[in-house]
Structures are given as structure tokens and as C-alpha cells.
Structure 1
Amino acid sequence: MQSVLREMMLQDIKTQISSLPKLENHNNGDYHFSMVLEEPPKSHWMFSMPLNKLYIRMNKTFNIDVKFKTKMPIQPLNLRAFLCFVKDVSGPVLRCQNHLSTDPIKANQSMRESLLRCENPNTTYCGTSDGKSIGERYSVLVPLNMSRSSQHSGGLVRQTLAFSFSCQNSCFGRKETCLVFCLENSNGDILGQQVLYLKICTCPKRDRNQDERQLEKTKMRLLSDAAEDDEVDGPNAKRKYRPTTLNDDVKEENESNDSTDILHVPADWQVSRTIDGNYRLVIKCEQKDLLLQSIEGIIEKAAVALLRNPQSTKLHQHANHLLNLKKCALKLP
């Protein structure tokens, strides 16, 4: 039975590269794959933690670390990276003719036509201008060094790669884009995936601040709408919303699985799939403050999703349910 399930899982992994991209993070191969982005001081690029979004100028380089666990038997691994439109994953992200015409003719024509560039000398530029699937669209493929694990990284391999972009979002109608990273083996099987939202612009700091202010407005509007629908008596009626404070510990979010191979989950915590295909989460908190912080974190994620898709009725409903959940939690003794 286990062998059958394993074959089904492997077949699903192998078919991913021939399918359209899905903008989701996963670790199907159990390699604890993650991408770590740390913004240096006085940088020419900016990173928004709550939006999981990189803001960078065209032709400027940023460094990002790929982390993964080695497994026996050791097999060669590659990192594939490509750009994708957030609201149209089938649409190829291509360079504009203006910037392409100013780029000198190179021996590697695929590199010239690629909007994404990697500084690693062993980079392979893949894909065609009409490619839609992961394996056929423009992407860069970088071989990973398997011998760089260290105790400082929790025994995981950590390798720094440098990327840049040869066009900006205004070149293709200011459509929202993201950068997708896939961990692959030598057969092209996708073992893990991470998504980083992206804006290539002339003023990263200004645009990041504008988007984060818009996120706060979205959260405040959700709270205001919920307050109109539900009157609360007592001291909670005048409770003011205070944005969640994000500190440096949040940077470890993508590294939460790095320390151990075994997941320790309390018996009274549950993560399950319901019959109708939805997901169910049950957690237990010893302190009320921890419960409220957990709910506020989920509300923030819902606000980010609404910011990207404000017309979604389901997202509005989901956000309202979370706000009502928080109100119920506030009433607890």
C-alpha cells in the first residue's frame, strides 16, 4: 500500500513541470526547501515582510539564499527560477522591445531574451517566448552545490545566488508579478517550490511604503466593516485596532522546518481536510495574548490576499469570519 502511495506522489511531482505554474509554497520532496532574503542596510532594493514582496530597480542585483536538506542517496539538485503573472499564470512574461533593442547581441540569445538574469556562471537559460508550462517558459536553471552544509544553518545546505531583471513592471502594463523558485532533481522533478512577489520599479522605497499603507487601509476597512455589523457592549466597544508588530524573528518563518526532521505536534492540535475539500485547523493556546496574536496573523494574511484580489467574495467572507473569531476571542475571560 505504501509503495502505491509513493508512486502516486512521485507521479504527481513529475507532472508538475509539464503543467502551468501554481503560486503556492510546498515541499513535496521533503527537502526542507526555502529561500532566505535578508535586506542589507542602504540597499537599492527593498523587501516587504507582510506582503512577501521584493521591490527592486531594473538591472540591479539582489542576493538570495537557497536552503535545503541533503538526503541519501545524494542526487544532483538544481534551482529553477522564473517570472509569472499573479493573475494570469499562463501568460509568458517577456522583455519589451524597447529594452531588448538596446541590449547588445550576445552569443547566448536565450539569455538576451530572458527578463530574469542570474550571476552564477553555470546558469542555463531555458524556454521559449511562447512557453506556458514550467518546463517550457523562460527560466534560469542553476546547479546547486551539495557540499555547503554547516551547523550554523542547522545542518542544511545554504547557497547564495545573485539575480537581476532586464525590464520592469511598467513594460508589461504594470501587471503584478512574482518570482517562482523550484527545487528540482536531474530528471526535472519538482521537489519544492517557493513564491516571492515582485515589483521591478524606479523607486522601490516609495512603492513599498505605498503598498504597505494600502495593506493597513485594507485591514482597517475590514475591521470597520465588521464593527458596523456587530455591536459590542462593554469596554471592548472602544477597543482600537493596533497593527501587529513584525520583528526580526519573522525572518525565520521560512526556516521553521530546518532544525529537525520530526514534527512535534501536541495531541490536541489538529490539521485535517474536511469531506467538502476545505481545511480545518485546531490549536490550543495557554495564554489569551498568544491566541489573539495567532488570529491577527491570519487576518493579516487574509488582508494581503484581499489586496491582491479585492473582488473575491470568498476572501471577503473568509476575512469577516476571522474578524468575528477575534471578537469572540476578545470576550473570553
Structure 2
Amino acid sequence: MSREKKRQSTFLLEEQEEENLETSVSTSQENIIIENVTDDMPIEPMAFLQGLHSGNLMQFSQQSVLREMMLQDIKTQINSLPKLENHNNGDYHFGMVLEEPPKSHWMFSMPLNKLYIRMNKTFNIDVKFKTKMPIQPLNLRAFLCFVKDVSGPVLRCQNHLSTDPIKGNQSMRENLLRCENPNTSYCGTSEGKSIAERYSVLVPLNMSRSSHESGGFVRQTLAFSFACQNSCFGRKETCLVFCLENTNRDILGQQVLYLKICTCPKRDRNQDERHLESNKNKLFFDASEEEELDASSAKKKCRRTMKNEVKDENESNDSSDVHPVPADWEVSRAIDGDYRLVIKFSNKDLLLRSIEGIIEKTAVAMIRNPQNLKLRQQTNHLMNLKKYALKLS
């Protein structure tokens, strides 16, 4: 009986050691998975929150949920309707550089961010991005989109389609956008609405092509043309969307260029810029009139307040509770709709705490909407403002 009990105890010890070994292996595997998810995560919005000094700003569980939401958002973009906004979710510093040559058959408007070009005429544009470790193959996807109806596919008209000399490649024949790169793939169908399903061109990028700029940037020139005009689809406003993708078709960056394919690019560009300038002047005059009305009403209100104060002083010896706003403080609204705040602080610590409070609110808003370029720029400005404030004596 003693030998049997000894055998049973030995067997139980071996089973316990195997269970401990399995638990340690599973725990290490879980740790590996968590680390990979974190490495693949676009950490820029989260970095703003992690750099703050507010310990109870956001619980760890809430951060995990937001992290998963942001990862899911990147992976599902290719199968969703396009959003007409610039972003760099993959932190590749992706951008498109368009330089108008002299005496060209196409025009570019800087204030409108709009290309004006004739049908079947090529234009050169540079795709620019920064190399990132680990290096992975990247592609550029380009497609046309209606500005006011992103769900509507941009299709060729039957007149130009019937006279197209291209006969062999049906996908290229039906695609309104053409690319001169020999490795271009033509994707999509006429019923496609999502980015993955609509007509587009997919160009593999040359990762070994270096740029004259420093900082590890890659710059590659591509030539595009269009096989129809805006008048072919009711003169609707259109834009050209460029997406930087990896081999998993995750969208790592996006740039939007407004577009008009017309017979007289110079005339249409000048007309649109004059129309933009007249609208700006109208907004400026309207804002000036509102400021004058506000100033007039403020003066009247000030007079009434002063009369009431004099009356109160005559009726009572109590001091007035009305304190005027300091002359060097200001809260106003700019012509472009943004708000402007000018305020003085009595000490540096109060200034820094106020800036950090604004950064917290802006960073949380940016995590909820990571594709909002304006929020991203505002957060960067606030971080630079904090650095500058720290240097003050």
C-alpha cells in the first residue's frame, strides 16, 4: 500500500508540473499577441494621452476599447464608402506633390486644391512617403469620387466608351482613370460603391527609389490621364482620391485632390478663383457688419450699466458687483468660423495647467475621431505651445 500511495503522489506531482508548464506557455503566448497588437497600433493619438499628467483621465479598459476600435477602423476602410479627408493613420507621412510646369495643358489652383485638365492629357504627380521599419510592400490606389455623393460610382459615358481604341483590356477600357505605369492594375466594377469594389487603379510603389530630400523619404513620379469629362456625368463636382495601402489592403494614408476635366482649364480655374474671392469678401463684410452691430449694442449696454451703477450708488452706499473684462483679454470668432481666446495668467503654473487641460480634451476628441486632420493639427500646436510655455522664465 505504501508503494501504491507513493506512485499516486508521484503521478499527481507530474500532472501539476505539466499544468504549470501549459499555463506559462499560454501566458507567454498571450503576452506575445498583446505586444504585436500594440506594435501594429497607430500610437500617435494615444501618445498624447500617455504624456499627460492626469492619472484618472481614462481607465485602461477604456483605452483598450478605443485601441481596438481604431485598429478595426483601419482594417475596414477598404470595404467602406470613401471619406473625403486627408489622413496618415499609418504614420508614413504620406502626401502627393503636384508641381505645375510652365505652358502646360493643365492648371492647378492652390487656394482651391483643384486640378483643371483636358481629357486624354497626362499630368505628373509625385507620391511621397517615409520609409518605416519593418519595411513592407506598399501600393497606391487612385479613384474618382463625386464630392456630394460618395456612394455614386463615377462611370464613363457611352459616347466616349464606344470610340475608345483600347479593345483587349476590358477593365482598363471601362475605367475613367488611366495610369502610364506599366505595372498598373485596373480594379473594380460598374456596380462597386466601396473603395475595394469601385473602379480604381492600383500601382505598386518602388521602395528602393530614393528622394533628394532627407529623413528617409521615398518619392516616385506617376502619370495619370482621364478618358471622360465632367460634362459627361452632368458636370458634377469630382475629386481624385489617393490611398496608400499595404499588401493586406489596409489604408495607411489618404490624400484628396479636387478635379475638373474640361476643355478650357485656364478659363475655368480663373472663374472658380474669382468666385472664391468674391465669397471671401462677402464673408468678410458680413463679419464686419456683425462686429459693428455687436460693438454698437455693447456700447448701449455699457451706457445702461453705467446709469444703473450711478443710480445704485445714489440709492445705497453698497459697492457694485459688476467688474469689467480686462482690456487685454479677448474672446472672438474668426472669419473662417474658428474661435480665438486671449487670456493672461498671474503665474506660470496656472498657465501650464490650463494648457494641459485643453490638451486633454483635444486628445480625447482626436482618439474618438482619429481621421480629423484639424484636430490632429490643433493638438500638435497645443503640444508645441506647452513646450514654449515651459521655457518661459
Residue 120 of structure 1 is aligned with which of 164, 181, 194? Answer: 181
Q: Equivalent residue for 1:195?
A: 256
How far off is 1:6 after superposition? 5.0
Q: Equivalent residue for 1:83?
A: 144
Going from structure 1 to structure 2, the CA distance change for 1:230 and 1:134 (only over 3 Å counts) comes to same
How far off is 1:104 after superposition? 2.5
Please state which structure has a larger fraction of its residues in helix. Answer: 2
Going from structure 1 to structure 2, the CA distance change for 1:30 and 1:230 (only over 3 Å counts) comes to same
SS in 2 for 1:212: helix
1:110 aligns with 2:167: no
How far off is 1:72 after superposition? 1.3
Residue 107 of structure 2 is aligned with which of 46, 55, 58? Answer: 46
RMSD over aligned CA atoms reads 2.5
Higher Rg of the two aligned structures: 2
- 1:70-94 deviation digits (Å, cap 9, x = unpaired): 1111111000000000000000000
1:26 aligns with 2:77: no
SS in 2 for 1:100: helix
Task: Supply the distance in 2 between the matched residues of 1:222 and 1:121 (Cα, whole angstroms).
Answer: 48
Identity of aligned residues (%): 82
- 1:248-301 deviation digits (Å, cap 9, x = unpaired): xxxxxxxxxxxxxxxxxxx789554559989774868xxxxxxxxxxxxxxxxx
Q: Equivalent residue for 2:234?
A: 173
Q: Equivalent residue for 1:160?
A: 221
SS in 2 for 1:216: helix
Q: Equivalent residue for 2:274?
A: 213
Q: Equivalent residue for 1:67?
A: 128
Task: Supply the distance in 2 between the matched residues of 1:220 and 1:147 (Cα, whole angstroms).
Answer: 48
Q: Equivalent residue for 2:31?
A: none
- 1:190-218 deviation digits (Å, cap 9, x = unpaired): 00000000000000000000000000000
Q: Equivalent residue for 1:222?
A: 283
- 1:93-113 deviation digits (Å, cap 9, x = unpaired): 000000001013521100000
Residue 130 of structure 2 contacts residue 215 of structure 2 at CA under 8 Å; is this kept in 1? no
Task: Supply the distance in 2 between the matched residues of 1:153 and 1:209 (Cα, whole angstroms).
Answer: 36
Which stretch shows the higher mean deviation, 272-281 or 133-142? 272-281
Residue 70 of structure 2 is aligned with which of 1, 4, 9? Answer: 9
How far off is 1:230 after superposition? 2.2
- 1:3-58 deviation digits (Å, cap 9, x = unpaired): 34655433211100000000000000000000000000111000000100000000
Residue 159 of structure 2 is aligned with which of 94, 98, 119? Answer: 98
Aligned residue type for 1:48 = S
**TM-score by structure 2 length?**
0.60
1:148 aligns with 2:209: yes
